C-alpha cells in the first residue's frame, strides 16, 4: 500500500493505491499565497491541512510518496566514459558542476543511468533547489509524516503516460507544465506560471498553445534527423483539463491529436484522472509495470540527494607532503645503516641516494604544482563568494521586483497581453500586443498614473500579424508595442 501526495498552489491531492488498484482519493483546498511557484511559504498551515486530510480519509501516514512542483529545477543528460563504480559519483558531480546553471551547493542532486553508447554511459541528472525540498520536508514534519520518497511532478506525469513519444500537458488554474517525451526519455520538461489574475480560459489556452509550438519547434530544430511525428499524442491532465472545452480549444490550435492521459493502473470509473494523474505517476514509482513499453522511466528519489553525505577528500597538497615524508623516512633509514656497512654497501647507498634525490625533486615539483592549484582554488572561492553576495543582493531586492511586476501587470487592459517584461535597476521594458493603438495609449496613461514622477513613454507601436478570424472579431488591426518606464 502506498499513499501519494501532490501539493500545488490551489489544493492538496491525496491518493491511496493497493497493489495496482486505486482505493481512495481526495483533496483539500488551499488558500491563495500558501504555495508560490512550487515553494511552500507557510509549512505549518499547509502541514495542518495535510494532517486534517489524512484524518478525514482515515489513511496511514506510512510510505507517503510526494512530488515537487514548480518552475525552479534543472536537469542534464551527461555522457561519461566507463569507469569503476566507486568513481562514478565524483565524476557525475564534476559534470553537473560544469553543465548546470545553478551552484551545486544550492541544489539536491539525484541521477539515474539511462543507457550506454560505445565506451560511454549516459546519466539523467536532476537538480532541485534545496529551499523547495526543505520546505516540503518541513511541511511533512508538521503533518506528522516521515519523508519516504520524493519525485518531480513532470517525471511523475511522464511515468503515468508510459509512452515512447508524447507531449504531456498539466494545465492548472495558475500554471502549466509541458513534458516532451521522445524515444522513451523526457527530452524537455518546462514549467510556467500564468501571470495576471482573472484571465479567461481562452487566454490561458492561447498562452499554452503558443508555448507548445515553441517547445516542439525547438526540439525538432535540434533533432532534424528524428523530429516529433505528426501522430504524437498530446495528453492532457490538470484541473482545467477536466473541462471538455479545454481539449476542443487546444485541438483547434494544435496539429497533434489531443487525448486524456490514462495511467496504467486499475481505478474506479468515477476517479477524475485529470486531477490525480500526478498522484498515479507517483504510485507507479513502486508498482511494477504490467506491460513493457518503449518508455524509459526516470525513477529518482530527490531525498537521496538531500540526505547524501559525502566525506570531503584529502587536499592534494596534504597527500603530496605525506608522500615526500615517506620518501624521506625511507631514505634516512638506509643512510643510518650505512655507517656500519662495507665500501660496497656505501656505493649502493650512494646510488640509492641519487635515485631518491631525483624522486624528491619530482615530489617538490609536484608540490609546487599543488600550490599553484591551491591558489587557483582560492581565486575560484573568492569568485563564488562574490556570486553569493550578488545572489543575496537579488534576494534582498526581490520585494522591489515583485512590486514593480505587480504594478505593470495590474494596469494592463483586458484587450492587451504581454510577450515580455524586463525589469532592471533603472528601467522596465514592457513588450506586448493589443487590439489597437488606443489600447496601448490607455495602458501607458495608466502606468503613468501609477508611477507618478517616473517617465513612461511608448517606444514603439507596430502592426502585428493577425489571422483573418482575429481581424473579423476585433474589427481592426492588432498592434505590438514597447513601453519603457524610467524609474
Percent over 90 (pLDDT), the chain: 40
pLDDT score for 407: 78
Q: Is pLDDT larger for residue 461 or for residue 316? A: 461
Checking if the pLDDT of 147 tops 90, the result is no
Q: What is the mean pLDDT of residues 92-113?
A: 90
pLDDT band at residue 419 under the 50/70/90 scheme: confident
pLDDT score for 187: 92
Q: Which of 239-253, 406-420, 467-481 has the lowest mean pLDDT?
A: 467-481
Domain boundaries, the chain: 2-306, 316-396, 402-486
Q: Is pLDDT larger for residue 453 or for residue 150? A: 150
pLDDT score for 477: 59
pLDDT in tens, 157-214: 999 999 999 999 999 988 889 999 998 999 999 888 876 567 788 888 899 999 999 9
pLDDT in tens, 53-84: 999 999 999 999 999 887 778 899 999 998 88
pLDDT in tens, 380-413: 777 777 766 666 655 655 557 777 778 788 888 8
pLDDT band at residue 426 under the 50/70/90 scheme: confident
pLDDT score for 17: 94
Percent over 70 (pLDDT), the chain: 79
Checking if the pLDDT of 376 tops 80, the result is no
Options 1.10.3470, 3.30.60, 3.30.1360, 3.40.50; CATH for 402-486 is: 3.30.1360
Checking if the pLDDT of 20 tops 70, the result is yes
SS3 assignment for the chain: CEEEEEECCCEEEEEEEECCEEEEEEEEECCCCCEECCEECCHHHHHHHHHHHHHHHCCCCCCEEEEECCCCCEEEEEEEECCCHHHHHHHHHHHHHHHCCCCHHHEEEEEEEEEEECCEEEEEEEEEEHHHHHHHHHHHHHCCCCCCEEEEHHHHHHHHHCCCCEEEEEECCCEEEEEEEECCEEEEEEEEECCCCCCCHHHHHHHHHHHHHHHHHHHHHHCCCCCCCCCCCEEEECHHHHCHHHHHHHHHHCCCCEEECCCCCECCCCCCHHHHHHHHHHHCCCCCCCCCCCCCCCCCCHHHHHCCCCCCCCCHHHHHHHHHHHHHHHHHHHHHHHHHCCHHHHHHHHHHHHHHHHHHHHHHHHHHHHHHHHHHHHHHHHHHHHHHHHHHHHHHCHHHHHHHHHHHHHCCCCCEEEEEEEECCCEEEEEEEECCHHHHHHHHHHHHHHHCCCEEEEEEEEECCCCHHHHHHHCCCCEEEEEEEEC
Checking if the pLDDT of 354 tops 60, the result is no
Checking if the pLDDT of 140 tops 90, the result is yes
Q: What is the mean pLDDT of residues 262-287?
A: 93
pLDDT score for 468: 40
pLDDT score for 305: 75
Q: Chain-wide mean pLDDT for the chain? A: 81
pLDDT band at residue 486 under the 50/70/90 scheme: confident
Q: What is the mean pLDDT of residues 230-243?
A: 92
Specify whether domain 2-306 bears CATH 1.10.3720.10. no
Q: Is pLDDT larger for residue 384 or for residue 287? A: 287
Q: Is pLDDT larger for residue 242 or for residue 28? A: 28
pLDDT in tens, 293-347: 788 889 999 988 776 534 334 344 543 444 444 344 344 434 444 443 444 344 4
Checking if the pLDDT of 238 tops 50, the result is yes
Checking if the pLDDT of 239 tops 60, the result is yes
Amino acid at each position: 500500500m502506498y499513499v501519494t501526495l501532490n501539493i500545488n498552489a490551489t489544493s492538496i491531492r491525496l491518493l491511496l493505491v493497493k497493489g495496482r488498484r486505486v482505493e481512495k482519493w481526495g483533496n483539500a483546498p488551499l488558500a491563495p499565497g500558501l504555495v508560490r511557484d512550487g515553494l511552500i511559504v507557510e509549512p505549518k498551515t499547509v502541514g495542518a491541512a495535510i494532517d486534517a486530510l489524512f484524518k478525514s480519509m482515515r489513511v496511514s501516514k506510512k510510505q507517503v510518496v510526494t512530488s515537487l512542483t514548480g518552475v525552479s529545477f534543472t536537469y542534464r543528460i551527461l555522457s561519461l566514459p566507463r569507469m569503476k563504480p566507486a568513481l562514478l559519483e565524483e565524476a557525475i558531480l564534476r559534470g553537473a558542476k560544469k553543465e548546470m546553471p545553478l551552484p551545486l551547493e544550492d541544489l539536491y542532486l539525484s541521477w539515474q543511468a539511462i543507457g550506454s553508447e560505445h565506451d560511454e554511459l549516459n546519466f539523467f541528472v536532476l537538480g532541485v533547489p534545496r529551499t523547495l525540498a526543505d520546505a516540503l520536508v518541513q511541511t511533512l514534519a508538521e503533518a506528522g509524516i516521515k519523508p519516504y520518497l520524493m519525485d518531480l511532478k513532470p517525471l511523475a506525469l511522464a511515468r503515468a503516460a508510459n509512452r515512447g513519444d508524447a507531449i504531456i500537458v498539466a494545465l492548472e488554474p495558475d500554471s502549466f507544465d509541458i513534458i516532451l517525451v521522445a524515444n522513451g526519455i523526457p527530452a524537455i520538461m518546462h514549467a510556467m506560471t500564468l501571470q495576471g489574475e482573472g484571465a479567461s480560459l481562452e487566454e490561458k489556452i492561447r498562452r499554452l498553445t503558443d508555448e507548445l509550438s515553441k517547445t516542439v519547434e525547438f526540439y525538432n530544430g535540434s533533432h532534424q534527423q528524428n523530429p516529433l511525428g505528426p501522430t504524437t499524442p498530446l495528453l492532457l491532465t490538470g484541473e482545467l483539463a477536466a473541462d471538455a472545452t479545454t481539449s476542443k480549444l487546444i485541438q483547434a490550435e494544435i496539429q497533434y491529436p489531443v487525448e486524456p492521459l490514462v495511467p496504467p493502473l486499475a481505478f474506479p470509473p468515477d476517479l477524475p484522472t485529470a486531477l490525480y494523474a500526478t498522484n498515479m505517476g507517483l504510485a507507479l514509482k513502486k508498482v511494477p509495470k504490467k506491460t513493457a513499453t518503449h518508455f524509459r522511466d526516470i525513477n529518482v528519489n530527490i531525498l537521496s540527494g538531500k540526505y547524501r553525505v559525502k566525506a570531503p577528500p584529502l587536499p592534494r597538497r596534504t597527500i603530496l607532503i605525506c608522500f615526500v615524508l615517506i620518501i624521506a623516512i625511507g631514505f634516512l633509514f638506509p643512510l643510518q645503516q650505512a655507517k656500519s656497512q662495507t665500501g660496497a654497501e656505501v656505493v649502493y647507498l650512494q646510488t640509492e641516494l641519487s635515485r631518491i634525490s631525483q624522486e624528491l625533486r619530482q615530489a617538490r615539483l609536484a608540490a609546487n604544482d599543488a600550490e599553484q592549484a591551491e591558489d587557483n582554488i582560492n581565486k575560484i572561492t573568492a569568485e563564488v563568494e562574490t556570486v553569493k553576495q550578488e545572489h543575496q543582493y537579488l534576494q534582498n531586492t526581490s520585494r522591489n521586483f515583485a512590486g514593480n511586476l505587480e504594478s505593470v501587470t495590474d494596469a494592463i487592459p483586458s484587450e492587451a497581453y504581454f510577450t515580455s517584461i524586463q525589469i532592471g535597476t533603472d528601467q522596465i521594458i514592457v513588450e506586448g500586443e493589443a487590439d489597437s493603438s488606443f489600447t496601448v495609449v490607455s495602458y501607458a496613461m495608466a502606468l503613468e498614473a501609477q508611477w507618478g514622477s517616473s517617465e513612461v513613454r511608448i517606444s514603439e507601436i507596430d502592426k502585428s500579424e493577425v489571422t483573418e478570424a482575429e481581424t473579423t472579431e476585433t474589427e481592426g488591426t492588432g498592434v505590438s508595442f514597447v513601453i519603457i518606464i524610467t524609474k
